[in-house]
Chains A and B, each alone.
Chain A
Amino acid sequence: MSNERAEFTEFFQASWQPCLRAVVAVVGSQQLAEDQVAEAFARAWASWRKVSRHPAPRAWVVRTALNTGASWWRRRNRELPLAGHDLPDAPSGGGVDVALLAALWRLPGRQREVIALRIFLDLDTGTIAQQLGIEAGTVRMHLSRGVAALRRELTLINTSEAQQ
């Protein structure tokens, strides 16, 4: 049991930040993301024997966090935070590109998920497909469309900066 505790503690300490960043990228709210990721890690500990043998335990945590959040909001008959047109307040300063961030949060949910799993968990297409329960080709499509939208935003930012 103590080995399991040590193993989980090490996993938790090393994985908290990347998992939290991935979930923030998808849900847009830091506080909600923190709550969902904490719940996902609690579930990971509750099923640690299974999760520790999972091929991508961080992806399991992120997927669980996102599912937790979705079901929690659904239970309360609320929309997902980014399901409508309201975008969360983007922080300014500290190297945060607000326009790019807003563009990311405007992407459809599945595109945000694919991009977050690629960026923060460094998962390949096959693993992302497995985690999201979709085909590899669909992952490639979401990634391609999401990247195209972000590229357009980067172009606009650059054009605007050049004009100033």
Chain B
Amino acid sequence: MNIHDDMSQDDVLAAAATCLSALPVAGPPAVEAIMVRGRARRRRTVTGLGLAGTVGVTALALGLAGVFGGHSPAHAGTTIRTAAFTLTHNANGTDTLTISPLVLVKPATLQNDLAQYGIQAMVHTGSFCSSNPAPDWSQVMSFWPQGYGPVRNPTITINPSAMPASTELSFGYFQLPVGQETALALINTNSYTCTSTAPTAPPAGGGLFRRS
């Protein structure tokens, strides 16, 4: 006779709950980032309805802008939205960058938009720059989700006011055989090296996101 033979359904569920509750899970991302995604979804839905009901040059132009990852003409408040990414200026002075999974970022577009928000960055496709040792980035950036694995909409929160002097962000976009990869690091502008090889692990002082 085993003690578990007599376990009621509630006992078994309680044991399962205890087990699952012991799993460490991440805290919530910034609610602003979630709202940005929600607004983008609402806007896409509205645009989709409009396209379905309207055949015209304007609709075609909007559609092409989306396909080629160009700037959307819609600048809502403090949000810059392109087909490839969304950049939002938050009330607390930070900026949230959400990267779309399906459209490759245009380096110049992202670099210019980040500069508008006071974020100095170099953005490359097919290469990535990093510093060794890396500047302290703990107060400058946070990533969601953390870790390296397939994600759809990685979110990066940046605090430009915390960037030390002589530093800037480095973004490297790589087209992989399956999907894309984005490497991100804070670099020392006086000492950094660049590589055309896609990183296989998060760089020192940064993060790595894979989208497939």
Give chain A residues whose Cβ lies under 8 Å from the Cβ of B45: 46
The answer to whether the Cβ of B12 comes within 8 Å of any Cβ in the partner chain is yes
The answer to whether the Cβ of B133 comes within 8 Å of any Cβ in the partner chain is no
CB–CB B5/A155 < 8 A: yes
Interface residues of A in 113-164 (CB under 8 A from B): 115, 118-120, 143-144, 147, 150-151, 154-155, 158-159
The answer to whether the Cβ of B57 comes within 8 Å of any Cβ in the partner chain is no
CB–CB B25/A72 < 8 A: no
Known: A31-B147, A31-B149. A154 touches B4 (CB 8 A): yes
Give chain B residues whose Cβ lies under 8 Å from the Cβ of A94: 22, 24
Interface residues of B in 8-25 (CB under 8 A from A): 9, 12-13, 15-25
- Shortest Cβ distance from residue A69 to the other chain B in the assembled complex, whole angstroms: 10
The answer to whether the Cβ of B151 comes within 8 Å of any Cβ in the partner chain is yes
The answer to whether the Cβ of A58 comes within 8 Å of any Cβ in the partner chain is no
Docked complex Cα distance between A87 and B140 (Å):
36
Give chain A residues whose Cβ lies under 8 Å from the Cβ of B144: 34, 38
- Shortest Cβ distance from residue A5 to the other chain B in the assembled complex, whole angstroms: 7
Given A21, A46, A151, which contacts B12 in the complex, CB threshold below 8 Å? A151
Given B5, B25, B34, which contacts A42 in the complex, CB threshold below 8 Å? B34
Docked complex Cα distance between A38 and B98 (Å):
12
Given B2, B18, B28, B147, which contacts A155 in the complex, CB threshold below 8 Å? B2
- Shortest Cβ distance from residue B58 to the other chain A in the assembled complex, whole angstroms: 24
- Shortest Cβ distance from residue A138 to the other chain B in the assembled complex, whole angstroms: 16
* Chain A interface mostly: helix
The answer to whether the Cβ of A41 comes within 8 Å of any Cβ in the partner chain is yes
Docked complex Cα distance between A21 and B152 (Å):
19
CB–CB B23/A16 < 8 A: no
- Shortest Cβ distance from residue A92 to the other chain B in the assembled complex, whole angstroms: 11
CB–CB A46/B41 < 8 A: yes
26 contacts between A and B (CB under 8 A): A8-B31, A12-B28, A17-B25, A20-B25, A20-B26, A21-B20, A24-B23, A24-B25, A31-B149, A31-B151, A34-B26, A38-B153, A39-B153, A42-B35, A42-B37, A45-B35, A46-B38, A76-B212, A94-B22, A101-B19, A104-B16, A118-B13, A144-B9, A150-B16, A151-B4, A155-B5
* Residues of A in contact with B (beta carbons under 8 Å apart): 5, 8-9, 12-13, 16-17, 20-21, 24-25, 29-35, 38-39, 41-48, 72, 76, 91, 94-97, 100-101, 104, 115, 118-120, 143-144, 147, 150-151, 154-155, 158-159
